[in-house]
Structure 1
Amino acid sequence: MALLGDWGVTLGKWAGRPPARVEKDSGDPAVRQVREAAEAADWATVREVLEARPESEGRVGLLWAVGETAGAERWLSRVVEAEPEAPLPRLVAGIRQINWGWEARTSARASQVSREQFEVFHSRLRTAEEWLYEVAEREPGWVSPWYALQVTGRGLEVGQVMARRRFEATVRRDPQHLRAHQQQLQQVCDKWGGSHEEMHAFARDAAFGAPGGTLLGQLVAVAHIEEWLSLDSGPDAAYIRRDDVKASLHRAAEHSYRHPDFVRGDGWTQVLNTFAMAFSLAGEPSAARECFRATEGRVTEFPWYYLDGSDPAAAYRKLRSAAGR
C-alpha cells in the first residue's frame, strides 16, 4: 500500500471550499444526546432516546454510541439485574460488552496481543452473545441483536458458515441494512479467512441486487480499497488504476449515489467519502471531485483512517486538494 505522503500533494486554501472535519456522532443530534446520557449513567434518557428511534432508522448507531461509552458496563449491569425480563437493557449491555472486549484486545495485530488479553476479549464477547441471543428470542423482529452477533462472531471466529447465517438473519429483517453488509464484506475478506474473489462477488451481488439509489453501492468501492490495501507499494497503484476497476467503480456509482432515487439515509456521508477515496486512488479526479463536493467537508473516519489513522481529516484534505476541489 502506498503511503499518503507518496502522492506529493500540496495543501492549500481553496476559495469557497468548506473546512474538512471528522463528522462527530454521524451528524445525528440523537447520538450526542444518548452518548451524554450514557456518560451520566442516565438510563431513563438512554431508554427514551432508543425507544423513540425505529430499528429501521439508524438505531444501531445510537446503540453503538452507548456501547462505546467507557465505564458503562458498571451501571448497565445493574439495569440488567433490575429489569431481568426487559430485552432493551440486555441489548445495550451486550453491545457494551462487545466494545469492552475490543478495548481489552486493542487494535494491535493478533501476534502482538497477549494470551491474557485474548482470554478477556473472548470472555466479554461470550457474555455479549448470551445476552444478544436472549434478546433475539424475546424480540424476534429486532434487527440490532443479529447485527451485533455478526460482530461477536467475527471476534470469536465462528467460521464462515455460522457468520453467513447471522448475516442472513439480519437482512431477513432489514434487506438494505448497510452495516450488516459491511460486516459480512469484512467477513469474506482474505484477511478474515475469505478471498478477494469472494469479497468482490459479495459486493457486486449485494449492490446490484438492490434497487437503484442504494447505499450498498459502497460495498464495491470498499472491496477495491481492501484489495488495494493488501498489496505492496507499486502493485497497489497498478491494481486500483486498472481500466476494469475504474469501470467497476463508475458502474457502482451510477447504481448508487448518482442514481435519481438516491436518498441521503443513515450512512450516506460514509458512502460518498468511500467513493471519494476510491476514485482518488484510481486516478479519476473528476469523479472524486464530485464526491468531495457532495460531502461538503463532512469527513467520516472510515475509510480515511486507512491512510492516516491519527488524522483522517488530513487524508481527506490531501486527496481533496489532489482532485482539484
Structure 2
Amino acid sequence: MLSLLFKPKELITVIRLMREAKRLGVEIDDLPSEVVAAHVLPKTHPERYGLVPDADVTCTAPIEDLALAAVKDDVRAGNWENAADLVTATHGDWDRRQRVVWALADLAAKDDAWMKSWQDARPGDPHWLVVHAMSLVSLAWDIRGSARASETTREQFDGFHRVLFEAREAAGVAAAVLPDDPTPLNTLLTLARGLQLDHDEFRAIWTELVSRDPLHHNGHQQALQYWCAKWHGSDELALEFALEAAAKSPKFLALPLHAAYEADSTPDMWKAPSVVASLDALLGRLADEGADTYALRDDRGYAAFALIRLERFEEAVGQFRALGELADAGPWSYFEDPRLTFLSLRGVAVKAMSKGKGVKAPVR
C-alpha cells in the first residue's frame, strides 16, 4: 500500500474502492467485479471503436454442443442412458469425444451414482471405462484442491496421489479394451504431471497418443503443460514442443503463444522471432475465421494478449472486436477475475491505439 503513495492516480482509486467497500459493508477484496471495473477501467468509450460496451462482456460461454448440454442435465437428474449413448456415438470424433468425456467425468467426480447405474446396466461397457478413468483424475484434483503446495495438507496430497494411481490403472484398462481410442492415452498425459512421470515415460505415452490421432487438440495442450517449467520441463522445452506442433498443423499456431505466456522466467520470449512468426501466421488464419467456438476464442484471446505485449495495439483491438462480448476462454480464464482482466487489457489496447501509440497494423 505504501508504494501507492508514489502513484497518486492508483492511490485515489484505492481510496474510492475502500469507501465503496465500507458503504457496502464488505472487504475491499470482496467487492463485486462490476463495482471494481467502474473504478479501475480506463474510460475508453469502446463503442466508438466497434467494440461491445463493457456491461455486455460476459464469462458465460454459449452452448456449442446441444446434445452434451442435454445429457449433462440428464445426468444431474440421475439418468445415465443418454450419456452412455452419447459417449459411444463420439467414437472416432476424437476431439469432440474428449470434450464429452471430460464434461461427464467432472460430473461423475462430484456424484457417481449415475455411473454406478450405467455400470450395473451395461457391465463391461468399454465407453464406461473411458469416462471412469477420466473421472478419477477429476476426483484427484478435487481432493488436492487448487491451493499452493504450502497450503495443501498431507492428507490431501496422499489422497491426490492414491486416486491418480487408480486413474492410471483404469486408463490402462480402457486403452487395452479400446486400442484405437486416444482418449485414455490423453487421460494418462493429463495425470502425468501429478504423478511426476519422467521424460521417457511421458514420451512413450505421447507416442501412443499421436499414433492414434496426430492432431489431438487437448492432447497437445496437455503435453505443452507437461513441458512447461512449472511442471517437468523448461521454457525452452515448452517452446520447442509448441513450435513443432505449429509446424505440423495450422490448428496449433497458438501453442507458441501459450508457451510464451507460461514462460515467467523468460519474459522476452514474446519477442522471439519464432513466436512472432507464429503469431503472424495465426493472425492470417484467423482472418478467415470467426469466434463462434471456444477454440477460436481461445486462439484469439492469446493473439490479443501477445499483440498487447508486442505493443501492436491496433491489431489487438481487432481481436477484441472479433471476440465481441465473450471473455470465456484463455488467457482470461486463468486470472482470478477473467472478465475484469479482459476489460482491463481491452481498455489498455484501445487507449494506446487512440493515442497513436505502438506499431501500426499492416495491411492484410
**Once the 2 structures are TM-superposed, how far is the Cα of residue 248 of structure 1 from its aligned partner?**
3.6
Cross-structure match for 2:341: 315
Residue of 231, 252, 256 corresponding to 1:216: 252
Cross-structure match for 1:138: 177
What are structure 2's unaligned runs of at least 5 residues? 1-8, 11-39, 354-364
Q: Deviations over 1:193-235 (max 9, x none)?
A: 211111111111110122xxx22011011011111x346xxxx
Separation in structure 2 between the aligned mates of residue 251 and residue 25 of structure 1, nearest angstrom: 28
Q: What SS does the aligned partner of 1:190 have?
A: coil
Separation in structure 2 between the aligned mates of residue 272 and residue 248 of structure 1, nearest angstrom: 16
Matched, 1:113 2:113: no
Matched, 1:14 2:42: no
Of the two structures, which has the highest relative contact order with CA contacts closer than 8 Å and spacing of 6 or more? Answer: 1
Q: Given the superposition, is the C-alpha separation of residues 277 and 27 from structure 1 closer, same or farther in structure 2, using an over 3 Å criterion?
A: farther
Q: Deviations over 1:234-287 (max 9, x none)?
A: xx4xx26647477345344256434x6999777222111121222223322122
Cross-structure match for 1:59: 97
Aligned pairs for 1:154-165 (under 5 A) are 154-165=193-204
TM-score, normalised via structure 2 length:
0.75
Cross-structure match for 1:93: 132
Q: What SS does the aligned partner of 2:311 have?
A: coil
Cross-structure match for 1:287: 315
**Code of the aligned partner of 1:198:** L
Q: Deviations over 1:9-40 (max 9, x none)?
A: 51555225333222437633233223222222
Q: Deviations over 1:136-172 (max 9, x none)?
A: 1111111211111111121111222111222222222
Q: Given the superposition, is the C-alpha separation of residues 113 and 279 from structure 1 closer, same or farther in structure 2, using an over 3 Å criterion?
A: same
**Code of the aligned partner of 2:343:** R
Q: Given the superposition, is the C-alpha separation of residues 57 and 244 from structure 1 closer, same or farther in structure 2, using an over 3 Å criterion?
A: closer
Q: Deviations over 1:160-188 (max 9, x none)?
A: 21112222222222211121111111111
Separation in structure 2 between the aligned mates of residue 25 and residue 174 of structure 1, nearest angstrom: 27
**Code of the aligned partner of 2:101:** L
Residue of 97, 106, 110 corresponding to 1:68: 106
Q: Given the superposition, is the C-alpha separation of residues 140 and 323 from structure 1 closer, same or farther in structure 2, using an over 3 Å criterion?
A: same
Q: How many residues align?
A: 307
Q: Which of the pair has more CA radius of gyration? A: 2
Contact residue 154 and residue 163 of structure 1 kept, 8 A: no
TM-score, normalised via structure 1 length:
0.84
Separation in structure 2 between the aligned mates of residue 11 and residue 29 of structure 1, nearest angstrom: 38
Q: Given the superposition, is the C-alpha separation of residues 122 and 252 from structure 1 closer, same or farther in structure 2, using an over 3 Å criterion?
A: farther
Separation in structure 1 between the aligned mates of residue 112 and residue 265 of structure 2, nearest angstrom: 36
